[in-house]
Amino acid sequence: MDNIAGQKSSLAWATNISVVALVLLWLIPTVGLLVSSLRERDQISESGWWKAPFPVELTARGRTGTQAAPDGDAFVVTGNIYDDEEARTYFPDGGGDVVAFGTRGVDPTEFAAGTTADLGDGESLTVNADGTYRWVTPEDPGDRGQRVYFAAQSPPEFTLGNYRQVLTADNMDRAFVNTLTVTIPATVIPILIAAFAAYALAWMDFPGRGLLIALVVGLLVVPLQLALVPMLNLHNRIGIGQSFMGIWFAHTAFGMPLAVYLIRNYMAGLPRDIIESARVDGATDFELFVRIVLPLSLPALAAFSIFQFLWTWNDLLVAKVFLPSDDASKVMTVKIADDLLGSRGGDWGILATAAFVSIAVPIAVFFAMQRFFVRGLLAGSVK
C-alpha cells in the first residue's frame, strides 16, 4: 500500500539500507560485550574488540641465557627468547612473531626484528622473528643474561577462561543461584492472586468495581521508591528484616498492579457468550473461573510471567534495599554494580563476562517466548 508506482525500487533500497544501519547500531554494543568476554584478558586491553580476529602486538621482556661460547676475543650467547621463563609468562600459549626488540625499557621496540643492534663497547644483539637471538659480548656474561624487551604478534585468541573464572570464583556462581532464588518465587506467587482479582474485576458485578480498576491503573505508575523506606521499616518491625522472604513479598506486591491490569484486560476481552452460557448452566463463579476463564487466559498469564521474570531478574533497586548486603545473598546485578565495577573497574574481561552471564538467561527467555511477551505488551498498552 505504501509503494507508489514508479518510486518502489528506490524507496525499498533506502528502507533496506536504513534498517540494516539501525539494526547494526543496535547490535554493535552487545556484540562488543560478547566478543570481549571471549578474549584473553591481555588482549582486551591491547586492542579493541573489533580487532579481535587480528593478531595483537604485545610488549614483553625477558633475559638471554648465559651459556656463552667463546668466539675469538668475544663471547657469543645464542638461544630462543621464548625459552626464557619470564618472557614465556607473557605468552602462555606460545609466542608469535617478534616484530621489534630493544634493550631499554624506555624504548622497547628500538630495533626491527632480524637486524643487529649495536649496543656499544663491541656488544651487539640480534633477535629474529622466530625468537632466536644472538648476543655478542666482549666479557663473559657470568650468571646474568642481557635484558631484552621485545614486541611480538600474539595470534588472536578466544577462550572460555573468563567464563570459568566468573562462574567458579568471585562468588558469581553464588550470585547466579541467588538471582534464581529471588526470581522464581517472585514470578510464580503473584500469578494466582492476580488472576482471581482480575476475574472479579472483569466479570463480577459489585459496587466499587470501577473505582478499584482506576486504583489499579493509578498504582501502575506509583514510583517504587516510595515503598522502600516504609516497607523496609515494616519488615524490620515484624521480624522479616532484609531477607529472601522480604524480597519475595516485595516483588510480589510491586508486580501486582501490572499483573491485575494485564490479566483483567485479557479476561475482559473473552467472549461474553461463553461466560453467560456457563452461568446459565449453573456454574458458580469459582467453577467458572477455574474451569473456563483460567485456561482461556493462559496467554495473558504467560505474558505476565515473562514480564515479571525479566523484571525481577534484572532488578537492582529492590535487591539492594530488601536483601542483606553480605556476599552470601548478593544477586548478580548487585554483585556487578557494587563489587565488579567498584573494586575491579579495570578488569574488562571479567566485567564483560559477568555482564554476559547475567544477561544470557533473560535473553534466552526473551527469544524463546517473544510471542507471548509482545502479546502481553500489546494487551497492556493498546486497545
Partner 1 sequence: MPVILQGIVTILIGVGGCVAYFYVSNYVLDRFIFPAKGENIGRNINRANAVRPWLFLFPAIFVLGLYLVYPVVGSFVRSLYGRDPEVFVGLGNYTQLFGSETFQIAFLNNLGWVIVVPAASTFIGLVAAQLTDKLSWGSFAKSMIFMPMAISFVGASLIWKFVYANDAEIGLINAIRAAMGFDDPIDVLQIPFWNNLFLMVILIWIQTGFAMVILAAALRGIPDETIEAAILDGANPWQLFFRIKVPQIMPTILVVWTTITVLVLKVFDIVYTMTGGNFDTEILPSYMMDFMFRDDGRATAIAFVIMIVVLPVMFWNIRQARREMR
Q: Determine the residue type at 131.
A: G
Which residue stretch of 83-91, 142-150, 156-164, 313-321 sits at the interface with partner 1 (rule: CB under 8 A)?
A: 313-321
Over the window 314 to 343, marking each residue x when it contacts partner 1 by CB under 8 A and - when it does not, the resulting string is xxxx--xx-------x---x--xx---x--
Which residue stretch of 104-112, 130-138, 147-155, 190-198 sits at the interface with partner 1 (rule: CB under 8 A)?
A: 190-198
Compute how many residues bind partner 1; rule: CB under 8 A.
Answer: 117
Do the beta carbons of residue 224 and residue 162 sit within 8 Å?
Answer: no
Q: Choose, by CB under 8 A, the member of 11, 160, 169, 298 that binds partner 1.
A: 11
Q: How many CB atoms lie within 10 A of CB 148?
A: 24
Do the beta carbons of residue 255 and residue 248 sit within 8 Å?
Answer: no
Please state the closest distance from residue 369 (CB atom) to partner 1, in A: 10
Please state the closest distance from residue 275 (CB atom) to partner 1, in A: 15
User: What is each CA distance from 184 to 157, 191, 267, in whole angstroms?
Assistant: 37, 12, 24
Do the beta carbons of residue 317 and residue 224 sit within 8 Å?
Answer: yes
Q: Residue 344, interface with partner 1 (CB under 8 A)?
A: no
Please state the closest distance from residue 161 (CB atom) to partner 1, in A: 18
Please state the closest distance from residue 383 (CB atom) to partner 1, in A: 6
DSSP code for 39 = B
Which residue stretch of 122-130, 164-172, 184-192, 296-304 sits at the interface with partner 1 (rule: CB under 8 A)?
A: 184-192
91-150 positions binding partner 1, by CB under 8 A: none
Taking Cα atoms as reference points, which of 266, 262, 265, 366 lies closest to residue 310?
A: 366
Q: Residue 304, interface with partner 1 (CB under 8 A)?
A: no
- What is 89-137 written as a DSSP string? HH-TT----EEEEESSTT-TT-EETTSEEEEETTEEEEE-TTSEEEEEE
Q: Choose, by CB under 8 A, the member of 74, 213, 270, 283 that binds partner 1.
A: 213
Complex with partner 1: residue 117 or 259, whichever CB lies closer: 259
Question: For residues 310 and 182, what is the distance between their CA atoms, to the nearest angstrom?
Answer: 12
DSSP code for 169 = S
Q: Which residue has the cell 621489534?
A: 100
Over the window 284 to 303, marking each residue x when it contacts partner 1 by CB under 8 A and - when it does not, the resulting string is xxx--x--------------
Which residue stretch of 65-73, 128-136, 155-163, 250-258 sits at the interface with partner 1 (rule: CB under 8 A)?
A: 250-258
Q: Choose, by CB under 8 A, the member of 112, 224, 274, 298 that binds partner 1.
A: 224
